């Protein structure tokens, strides 16, 4: 019988691979795992207790908050605050960042940005949803409250990032810059166990994920790439399959494992893009690159974008290397024709 490797065991074994191997990051990842188990419990009993549906309020994004959005947000904030490794957080559900000024947290070396429950529109219909998180070392002096500059760092400066997928099974996938590993929650023992070691995304695939209902509002280059995906070509395995769940984590996770590209471009009605750079795009771009894939905003590497505000949005192309490169070539081809 093969040895079961739990998340805690794995993180402790790999601690030496991390440049700041002092134990705080190990504890922080454990805090994320605990909060994930709490959210998993609530998601699994959502139809049995009164936590489905809208809360009746909107968040800073102008989106209607779901009850589970708020429950997940509070669960992760409690975990981060009680752990002592984090001096502040920024969440998609909150207007501004939150600096922890209690004695337990003010010396924390990290800040965390997160989307507590991605895919809120799918909560009520039992479709996979997820949590996305991004971890940075603080810039400000330990012992002082966290400041905005701690959160407005390039994605390339992340020390760890990952996501939790709540679906047919619950998975935690993360990277500290030394590859990507996935852990599946075993409900019989209440532990995340290593199930997908050293994840490598295929260089190409046969899946493209885009909301084609918005295609007429997209740049001509996006339309050209989608047309390319639809064309018959036995040599390249086309036509590709269009697969769009509407939960970013679920679409990204499938493409990461099977090969594919996820596209949420700028549109006429969303000229800056729809997805949030700090809570969604950067952490998943970090995972994509660590698995051998690529991520851009349509013009530049996602991880090189210098953020100017907490809730900044951007266009997003992420997934298998060859497919992202092809989509970029279509964008540049159309731009060259227009200019």
State the CATH number of the domain containing residue 75.
3.30.540.10
Is-contact 229 244, C-beta < 8 A? Answer: no
Q: Which of 24-38, 46-60, 297-311 has the lowest mean pLDDT?
A: 46-60
In this predicted structure, the answer to whether residue 314 has a pLDDT above a threshold of 80 is yes
- Strand spans (E) along 127-229: 129-137, 160-166, 170-175, 181-186, 191-196, 207-209
CA within 13 Å, CB half, 37: 18
In this predicted structure, the answer to whether residue 264 has a pLDDT above a threshold of 80 is yes
In a domain, 283, yes or no: yes
The reported pLDDT for the residue numbered 219 is: 94
Burial of 290 (0-12, 13-18, 19+ CB in 10 A): buried
Q: Match 């036509």 to its residue by tokens.
A: 239
**30 and 160 housed in the same domain:** yes
**184 and 297 housed in the same domain:** no
Tens-digit pLDDT profile for residues 38-57:
999 888 876 544 444 455 45
In a domain, 201, yes or no: no
Average pLDDT of the segment spanning 310-323: 98
Name residues whose C-beta falls within 8 Å of residue 88's C-beta, 6 or more positions apart in sequence: 97, 98, 99, 100, 108, 111, 138, 145, 146, 150, 151
Task: Report the interhelical angle of 67-83 vs 24-44 (nearest 10°).
Answer: 150
How far is the CA of 338 from the CAs of 177, 219, 316, 331, in angstroms? Answer: 39, 11, 22, 11
92 assigned binding-site residue? yes
In a domain, 329, yes or no: yes
Residue 251 is part of which domain span? 207-338
How far is the CA of 95 from the CAs of 87, 90, 279, in angstroms? Answer: 18, 9, 13
Q: Match 């227009």 to its residue by tokens.
A: 338
Residue 21: band (very low, low, confident or very high) from pLDDT cuts 50, 70, 90: low
**Predicted model pTM:** 0.93
Is-contact 276 269, C-beta < 8 A? Answer: no
Residue at a domain's end among 139, 172, 196: 196
**247 and 183 housed in the same domain:** no
The reported pLDDT for the residue numbered 67 is: 80
Cis peptide before 101 (omega within 30 of 0): no
150 assigned binding-site residue? no
**163 and 54 housed in the same domain:** yes
Reading the block at residue 124, the tokens are 């009520």
Residue 68: band (very low, low, confident or very high) from pLDDT cuts 50, 70, 90: confident
Is-contact 229 236, C-beta < 8 A? Answer: no
118 assigned binding-site residue? yes
In a domain, 1, yes or no: no
Residues of the chain above pLDDT 70, percent: 90
Number of domains in the chain: 2
How far is the CA of 9 from the CAs of 83, 134, 199, 242, 297, in angstroms? Answer: 18, 21, 18, 39, 36
240 assigned binding-site residue? no
295 assigned binding-site residue? no
The reported pLDDT for the residue numbered 1 is: 47
Residues of the chain above pLDDT 90, percent: 78
Q: Give the Cα separation of 28 and 223 in Å (integer).
A: 42
The reported pLDDT for the residue numbered 53 is: 46
The reported pLDDT for the residue numbered 2 is: 65
**276 and 323 housed in the same domain:** yes
Distance of CA 300 to the CA centre of its chain: 19
Q: Give the Cα separation of 113 and 227 in Å (integer).
A: 36
Residue 300 has a CB neighbour count (10 Å cut-off) of 10
The reported pLDDT for the residue numbered 333 is: 74
Tens-digit pLDDT profile for residues 102-125:
998 999 999 999 999 998 777 778
In a domain, 202, yes or no: no
**159 and 280 housed in the same domain:** no
**122 and 80 housed in the same domain:** yes
115 assigned binding-site residue? yes
Residue 234: band (very low, low, confident or very high) from pLDDT cuts 50, 70, 90: very high
In this predicted structure, the answer to whether residue 59 has a pLDDT above a threshold of 60 is no
Torsional sign, CA 273, 131, 288, 253: negative
168 assigned binding-site residue? no
* Mean per-residue pLDDT of the chain: 91
Residue at a domain's end among 147, 166, 196: 196
């Amino acid at each position: 019988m093969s040895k079961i490797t739990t998340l805690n065991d794995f993180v402790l074994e790999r601690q030496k691979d991390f440049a700041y191997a002092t134990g705080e990051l190990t504890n922080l990842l454990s805090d994320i795992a605990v909060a994930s188990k709490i959210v998993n419990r609530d998601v699994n009993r959502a139809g049995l207790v009164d936590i489905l549906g809208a809360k009746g309020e909107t968040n800073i994004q102008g989106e209607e908050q779901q009850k589970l959005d708020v429950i997940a947000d509070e669960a992760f904030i409690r975990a981060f605050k009680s752990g002592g490794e984090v001096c502040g957080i920024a969440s998609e559900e909150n207007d501004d960042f939150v600096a922890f000024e209690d004695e337990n947290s003010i010396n924390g070396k990290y800040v965390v940005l997160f989307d507590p429950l991605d895919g809120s529109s799918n909560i009520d219909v039992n479709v996979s949803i997820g949590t996305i998180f991004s971890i940075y070392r603080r810039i400000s002096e330990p012992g002082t409250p966290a400041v905005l500059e701690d959160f407005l760092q390039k994605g390339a400066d992340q020390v760890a990032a990952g996501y939790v997928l709540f679906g047919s099974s619950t998975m935690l996938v993360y990277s500290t810059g030394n590859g990507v590993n996935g852990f599946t929650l075993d409900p019989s023992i209440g532990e995340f166990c290593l199930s997908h070691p050293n994840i490598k995304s295929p260089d190409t695939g046969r899946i493209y994920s885009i909301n084609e209902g918005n295609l007429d509002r997209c740049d001509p280059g996006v339309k050209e790439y989608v047309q390319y995906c639809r064309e018959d070509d036995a040599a390249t395995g086309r036509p590709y399959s269009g697969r769009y769940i509407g939960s970013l984590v679920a679409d990204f996770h499938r493409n990461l494992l099977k090969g594919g590209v996820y596209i949420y471009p700028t549109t006429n009605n969303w000229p800056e893009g729809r997805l949030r750079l700090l809570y969604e795009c950067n952490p998943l771009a970090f995972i994509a690159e660590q698995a051998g894939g690529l991520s851009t905003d349509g013009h530049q590497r996602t991880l090189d974008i210098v953020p100017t505000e907490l809730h900044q949005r951007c266009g997003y192309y992420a997934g298998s290397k060859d497919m992202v490169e092809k989509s970029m070539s279509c964008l540049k081809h159309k731009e060259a024709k227009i200019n």
